[in-house]
Amino acid sequence: MKMYIESAMHLGIAFGGKAGVLFAVLSFAGKDGEIILRASQRATICEKLGLNSKTVSNYISTLLKDGLLYKLPGETGPIYWANPGYFAIGSWNDVKERIALYEVARRMYSRGRQGGADGAGGINSDSPDNLLPVEPSEGQA
């Protein structure tokens, strides 16, 4: 199935509720799945779906818990990612790369929030070396 991102808001209006908020949020996604929800976009979602901002925020929180969206801190506000395992645009190779990047970012951020026992890294460090699979170099096995 293919769906045009521009159609997502129309599906949101048709479905309403949590599914409506999901489709409305997806309508603001870029090709990389990144979603930056500005106040004006949140207001558009509220207006189109007939919901107040608290209800929309609650639905977004539920979508985060459901794993359909993921939130990273941004310089001017949170950056949401649509889970590329469910929503992605592009060739299969691009989608596979996006899924791998999504998983690394998700694991890195969740480990960074947990921190190590001493807060200095170690096993629970959010260093990319602890997250990315590394192939052995020549002479190692």
How far apart are the C-alpha atoms of 29 and 137, rounded to whole Å? 38
* pLDDT tens digits for range 48-98: 999 999 999 999 999 999 988 988 877 777 889 888 888 877 788 888 888
Is there a contact between 23 and 15 (Cβ–Cβ < 8 Å)? yes
Domains with residue ranges and CATH for the chain: 1-89 (1.10.10.10), 90-141 (no CATH)
Is there a contact between 37 and 25 (Cβ–Cβ < 8 Å)? yes
pLDDT score, position 128: 40
* Tokens, residue 70: 């993921």
Is there a contact between 56 and 21 (Cβ–Cβ < 8 Å)? yes
What's the whole-number average pLDDT of the chain?
75
Is there a contact between 29 and 35 (Cβ–Cβ < 8 Å)? yes
pLDDT score, position 2: 58
pLDDT score, position 123: 40
How far apart are the C-alpha atoms of 13 and 20, rounded to whole Å? 6
| CA-based nearest residue to 18, from 66, 61, 59 | 59
Using 50, 70 and 90 to split pLDDT, how confident is the model at 109?
low
Q: Structure pTM?
A: 0.66
pLDDT score, position 40: 92
pLDDT score, position 99: 83
Is there a contact between 31 and 87 (Cβ–Cβ < 8 Å)? no
User: How many alpha carbons fall within 13 Å on the CB side of residue 137?
Assistant: 0
Residue type, 106: R
Residue bearing the bigger pLDDT, 54 or 120: 54
pLDDT score, position 6: 63
